Amino acid sequence: MTVISVRTTPRRRRRSLRAALLAGLLAVAGLAGAGPVAGRAAAAAPEPATAGNATGITRSGNTFTVTSTSGAKARVVVARADIFRLWLSPDGRFADDPAGSDLARTTDFGPVQAAVTDAGGHCRITTPALNIRVDKSPLKFSVYRADNRTLVWEESRPTSWTATRTTQYLSRGAADMPSGWFLPNDGYGCGYTEPLKATVDALAAKGFRTGLWTSTGLTRIAEEVAAGSRAVKTDVAWIGGGYKNAFAGVQQAVDGIEKNSDARRFVWTVDGWAGTQRNAVVWTGDTHGTWDDMRWHVPAIAGAGLSALNHAAGDVDGIFGGSPQTYVRDLQWKSFTPVFMTMSGWGATHPEPGYRDKQPWRFEEPYRSINRRYLQLKMRLMPYHYTMSRTAHETGVPATRAMVLEYPDDPVARGNLTSGQFMAGDSFLVAPVVSETAVRDGIHLPAGTWTDYWTGKTYAGPGRLDGHRAPLDTLPLFVKGGAIVPMWPQMNHTGEKPVSTLTYDIHPRGSSSFSLYEDDGLTRAHQSGAYARQRVDVSAPASGAGTVTVSVGAPTGSYSGKPASRGYELTLHVPSAPARVDLDGAPLTRRASKAAFDAAATGWFHDPADRGGILWVKAGSQAGAFTVTASGTSVPDAEPVPAASAPIPQADWRLLSADSQETAAENGAAANGFDGNPATMWHTAWSGSAPAALPHEISVDLGARHTVDGLGCLPRQDGGANGRIGRYELYVSDDPAHWGPPAA
């Protein structure tokens, strides 16, 4: 016999340039972050000194020396196409290297192509991977990608020094943060001024589209849409008591947008019922930035999808309270849902340093960079998410999917053990971290293979993954074997740059396919058939070595802005380099390095050290169908995970004792707590005399000896808030007379 006892306290609820390039820049030589000062000025100046203006640049091999009006010199040593070292010597001498091999253990990477040109206001040192600009007046440095347009970092002002200190002033990514929709509140005393169109246009120039939070109603929606507003957030202030006008209000917003523009409807509403998905996003309302609120949001949003609500959302980190840690964790997983919202206001003032309000760019490091990382990943995955939303439109299958929806025959997925994870479309398994921990336990991997998105390690399911490493910057994220994921180039908002190259990120495993959906992204022309599809088929070994074939079909259909042709890149997750790679039967050139691959129009390169092995392939610009074949490669080996524990059958469970239960005013008998029926519940007594003091206890005989590795608890499902368990202690024993210390 195994007996469990639970003591509960109910709560009262109130209302990367490629990553290697940038990492190489900073790690190999301190490259711009802290270049060594080879000599010092003889005496400290009252104010920090600078080099002044550049007067010339000379070259010796791949060492470039810059002279200046002050006598100071700067030196750029190009070690590899994507790695360089930056020196500064105030007295112009480079006689010693105080850091030596401690700073750069490897300096000889072989020959590298480099050149220097005079571009007028600056000189430019170029390699196949980057452009190093040397501004002449004053002497400053900046680094751009190979296209000479994409800034990596720049000095905001010249490096300065004193007798004891050298300071470099770097600026990187000041505006490098994805943007979306901006919905200012036009009510609660926050009305907008007359030049609404000028504001909309100015925001558009910064990558924001504008909607209005219509607390005061929709009487001016025609002129607001004419001014460029394209979204409406309805609110309780005018929807009405009991939300009785929710449908009518949302329909009024839809009509206001679609009768005054060619834009598609975009309405964000506070509540809804079956059918709301036709017109509006629904969200969870005013919540708190706590681990507990985050925890229930995961099944709430995934569960909404089971009711056909594809666009269900919640405020990132709530609107009350919060912290940098809860914000980061909440943003991570919500970036894999179709929509989410960040809302300033009640969270604008917070005692924790570095936390000013609830916008992702308003945090100090490292939180701001983590926010940027996931928002930029969401932007790159936009064609994947967009296709999943089209699937929801056509079939009703949501983009955010409860595990049971994808795996109805999996006994673990049918229970509550997977309520804390979900599928983001066909390919991604997301297991949010919803507590203050760097380890994620209890991840259920269904049958098939699952690859850690960040490390490339592959697991074989079904089974339970415990002890998964998940530091603050890492969302547990797994990719299904056979996945084909379309990706845009990195951009911060839709339309910032043309999608001149489309990437397909592929995890080959057996036979798989994907049908990309595209339209103009703005108008309702797709309702009349103005959209395109592109089918991709992959054939690969189910395990071991073999040939991987990727067949990319010609795009079918058309829409305004559809490119006549575009470049294609494939990233195939394969551990071993192929013997050859062919494009339509003709061999592609193997490039010697990733930098050489990046600079080439076509070719391939394999790096076995990157995420378990990545094969990069460039097919060049294509207007029609093409096929890429990688011969003599392999698919990753998969590590089996331990089988998940099956739920203990409850038919033989027996109530031993409960110190409090409600049997009069409502059906809250203790036995209801394990009868398997979510419509019934155990509720402590409340209808008689004053309730007994906390804590309360319930003891249950499980009927036989079992290994208990977890206990699930489903809160009351009738909308009530009282009686929910807030804190608990769990005891397990073979003898109810001797419990011992709590197990949890």
pLDDT tens digits, 315-346: 999 988 889 999 999 999 999 999 998 887 56
Backbone angles phi, psi at 226, to 5 degrees: -60, -30
Can you point out the beta strands (E) in 453-579?
458-465, 468-469, 477-480, 484-487, 501-506, 511-518, 532-539, 545-552, 556-557, 566-572
Given a cut of 50, the residues of the chain with pLDDT beneath it are 1, 10-45
Residue 190: C-alpha distances to residues 112, 214, 499 (Å): 59, 11, 38
Contact 446, 413 (CB under 8 A): yes
In this predicted structure, what is the pLDDT of residue 329?
A: 98
The CA angle 42-44-47, to the nearest 5 degrees, is: 140
pLDDT number for residue 712: 76
* Coil, helix or strand at residue 358: coil
Q: Identify the helix (H) or strand (E) that includes residue 386.
A: helix 382-395
Element housing 88 (H / E): strand 83-89
Q: What is the reported pLDDT for 320?
A: 84
- Exposed, middle or buried: residue 121 (CB in 10 Å: 0-12, 13-18, 19+)? exposed
CATH no., domain 481-640 = 2.60.40.1180
- Half-sphere exposure of residue 325, counting CA atoms within 13 Å on the CB side? 11
Contact between 281 and 269 (Cβ < 8 Å) = yes
10 Å CB burial of residue 70 (0-12, 13-18, 19+) is middle
Strand-pairing partners, residue 523, are 263
Quote the pLDDT of residue 350: 57
For residues 673, 675, 678, 679, the Cα torsion angle rounded to the nearest 10 degrees is -90
Phi, psi of 303 (to 5 degrees): -65, -30
- In the numeric block, the tokens 């006892």 are attached to 5
Task: Give the chain's radius of gyration (CA, Å).
Answer: 30
Reading the block at residue 325, the tokens are 């840690």
Q: What tokens does 176 get?
A: 């490098």
Domains 31-171 and 481-640 share a fold: yes
Kindly provide the residue ranges of all beta strands, DSSP E only, lying in 162-292, ordered along the sequence. 166-171, 181-182, 209-210, 212-213, 232-233, 267-269, 280-283, 288-289
C-alpha distances in angstroms, 570 versus 382, 498, 536? 17, 18, 11
pLDDT at 456: 98
Residues across the chain: 744
User: Given this model, what pLDDT does residue 16 score?
Assistant: 28
Q: What b/e sequence results for 660-671 when a residue is b if at least 16 CB atoms lie within 10 Å of its CB, and e otherwise?
A: bbbeeeeebbbe
pLDDT of residue 23: 24
- What local confidence, expressed as pLDDT, does residue 32 receive? 28
Q: How far apart are CA 400 and CA 209, in angstroms?
A: 24
Which pLDDT value is given to residue 271?
74
CATH code for residues 31-171: 2.60.40.1760
| Domain residue extents for the chain | 1-15+648-744, 31-171, 175-283, 481-640
Question: Taking the alpha carbons of 264, 270, 275, 277 in that order, is the dihedral positive or negative?
Answer: positive
Within 8 A by CB and 6+ apart from 383, the residues are: 486, 487, 488, 502, 516, 518
Which residues, other chains included, contact 89 with Cβ-Cβ below 8 Å and sequence gap of 6+?
A: 37, 38, 39, 72, 73, 74, 75
